Structure 1
Amino acid sequence: MNEIKCPKCGEVFTIDEASYASIVKQVRDDEFNAEIRNRELNYSREKESALRLAKAESDKILQEQISKKDSLIQELQSRLEQKDSERELAITKAVAQKDAQLGEKQIEISRLTSAIESSKNQYALQEKTIKEGFETQLRLRDEEIERLKDFKAKQSTKMVGESLEQFCYDEFNKIRMTAFPTAYFEKDNDARSGSKGDFIYRECDENGVEVISIMFEMKNEMETTATKHKNEDFFKELDKDRREKNCEYAVLVSLLEADSDYYNAGIVDVSYQYEKMYVVRPQCFIPIITLLRNASLNSLKYKQQMEVMRNQNIDITNFEASLNDFKNDFAYNVDQAHKRFDEAIKGIDDTMNKLQKIRDALTKSDDQLRRANNKVEAVSIKKLTKGNPTMAAKFDELKNS
């Protein structure tokens, strides 16, 4: 792992090797482009300086040759004047030696002229050689610059030509097993709400507590597109998808507004418009995941404590629910028993009423029997024959016999 210190806030971030290499590559590319521009400028300056220096040296050499020639001519003129004086003093000898001296002078002049011409030709050849050398170096440098520009252009063309979504998916899969072995990163295929993002990233700890979740949206368009879109055109829909899919962050990976220095900074925080939303260039796709993931890992222990408290609250709630269920069941059983008790009491009351009726009936029957018994005891022959002379006569006869 590597540490990166923010030059503005001084906060130190820890990122993995892949993200660190990506950031170093981005910085190296910028430094490389700046180095190329500096070298082009320095080379142009060196070329102009060298040409001025070569021209100055050539002028200096030519001036020296001309000065030497002028000196030699003056010397020759002095010598001619001296010879004229000698000739005046010795006309006869001069006439005899005139042709020889004149021939020697002509030879000397021709030699000096040849030397001057040779010097001029040598300087011109040297100047031509230096110029050709610089032009060769310039041509090679221009070819190298064009090759690098063509290389970058081909890279951009390739990125535009292929799907940005596939590019990001491949970049993630390159380091999935090394940097994000337990993470979920797949296409968002749930469009039940009428819209969907491009990718969803989720990662949980060993206890199943969610560490981080990100909704990704990828946007790109060709340079020849007539109507140019802006990044902010997609913020509202992306925030809606984030909330519907219960994601913590929203990230727009965009190649739109390619000339914007604001978005070309790499990672742009637009949470002042929509909560927890970022806009990044494709080269910052992996770094934004790493930065958000590391920040979430730092707060993981608080999430774990909250999850423990939530589970405890769930346990308490379940206990209270079980207790309430027991109370309800017990109250139901008590109510049923009370109903059965009331029914039994009512049955006993009914039975007692029936027994009371039977008792009353038996009491009345006993009264009737007692009255009948009293009536039987009150019966006598006298009473029976009273008012019946026939039966009285019969009883009297029976009594007498």
Structure 2
Amino acid sequence: MNEIKCPNCGQVFSVDEAGYSAILSQVRTEEFERELKSRIEMIEESGRKENELNLNKAMAEKNDEIGRLQLELEQAKASIGKNEMEFDMVLQKAMAEKESEIVKLNEQLKSIEESGELITKNEVAKAMAEKNDEIGRLQLELEQAKASIGKNEMEFDMVLQKAMAEKESEIVKLNEQLKNIEESGALVTENEVAKAVADKESQISELNMKIQQLESDAKQNSERMEMAVTKAVNDEKQKYEEKLAASNEALFRKNEDLVRLDGELAKAKLEGEIALKEAVSEIEKQRDTQKAEYEAQLKAQQETLEYYKDLKTRMSTKMVGETLEQHCENSFNMIRAAAFRNADFRKDNEVKEGSKGDYIYRECDDDGNEIISIMFEMKNEMDTTSTKHKNEDFFAKLDKDRKNKNCEYAVLVSMLEAESELYNQGIVDVSYDYEKMYVIRPQFFIPMITILRNAAMNSMDYKRQLNDIKNQEIDITHFEERIENFKTAFSKNYSTASKQFNTAIEEIDKTIDHLNKVKENLQKSLNNLRLANDKAQNQLTIKALAKDNSTMMQMFEELENNGDLSIE
């Protein structure tokens, strides 16, 4: 049987396994629905974000490609414009130089006319007009050639330099001719003028041919450049169209995936709704069944409560308290043999400091180690009692009894404050004021013992380990004490031995000093003996001994003369 507390009234009911499983199924169904809804939202959000990312990526690639093509076109236009500007500058410079040379030649011809030469003014004017016409035509053709040359800058520079060199050569020749005319003063005949005009026409013809060749080359180069630019643009356009087609195909596939995901999502939603409806229907059926069962149980409990209320009105205050104690004791004894074989539950008859509790619960393991101990206090009163007590009035006494009897927990089994929602909701923990103290109603008497006992049993391993650690610490302490004793004894022995060793060293030092003194005395004696020996060797002679003895000297001289003795 499982117990469930009503969230509205706080009443605790016992539910069989089937009802409990049905409630769990209901909770799991709601969790499944929430999880399903969450997964569906995640799938939708993920698909939407992925499509947005792919679309943005494709659009960015297209914009980059368009920008690159536009940049290449702008660069091509800028290059063409730059070449045209450079060509115009070079052409203008060349034309300015030619105009300057022509002005100089006109001035020289004018000076020749004024000096009285045979060349007539009309002929010179006609020749100059023809020359100016020819120059104007050449300028027009050069302008046309400039428009057709385009970007071929290197070839134009080479041709222009060659034409400029020829013009320079022609100008040099004309200058030399004019110089010769001025120096020689010779008359210019009509034949010579005609010859000069023919030479000019020949040169102009050659220039026309060169200009035509230049125009042809420029046109061919321009056509080649246009073809190359057109080909490059077409290639880039084809690549862009291929990329655009691939991007469109990818978007199409993404749209197909979205459609498929939408279908799967709709199917999942439909299946979830069907499952939810079925679960709701099943839960409603179970709820109705459980509601009927709860109502029946509630009715039975109300009848029991009315019975006890009626019973209390017929009892004295002492009888009411004794009835609660007997109820708790009987409830415990009914399951003692099955659940609490090693437990000791009895009344507290030992008075300490003028106080005692109602019951003490103790339980030990097979080794005699205490598992748990609880001090119980049972409090009840009649509804008609004038003096109404509160549960907190007994907390201090219960805590004192717990400490006096060395109990781990304190539990107040109370019927006081019958209308209090706090105490009617179940087990109340008041350890915030008094350590390890709880307040319960009588119906929670056995469950409270079971909860505390199971918690203590679960912590037995830790208690054993703690005891082992304490024993190890005791062993370590004893070991340390033995080490300290050994160190003390060893230190004492060392001190004694060290003292004796120092004494022996001092005695040895004294002996060494004495021997050194003996050594010095012996050395002094040896020195005196050496001196005596030296004296004996050097001073002890016959001559020295007989020095002041004339008789002995005479005898020794006779012996020496006879050869029997040598005197030194």
TM-score relative to the length of structure 1: 0.46
Higher RCO (Cα < 8 Å, 6 or more apart)? 1
Q: From the two aligned structures, give the one with the greater helix fraction.
A: 2
**Larger of the two Rg values belongs to structure:** 2
TM-score relative to the length of structure 2: 0.34
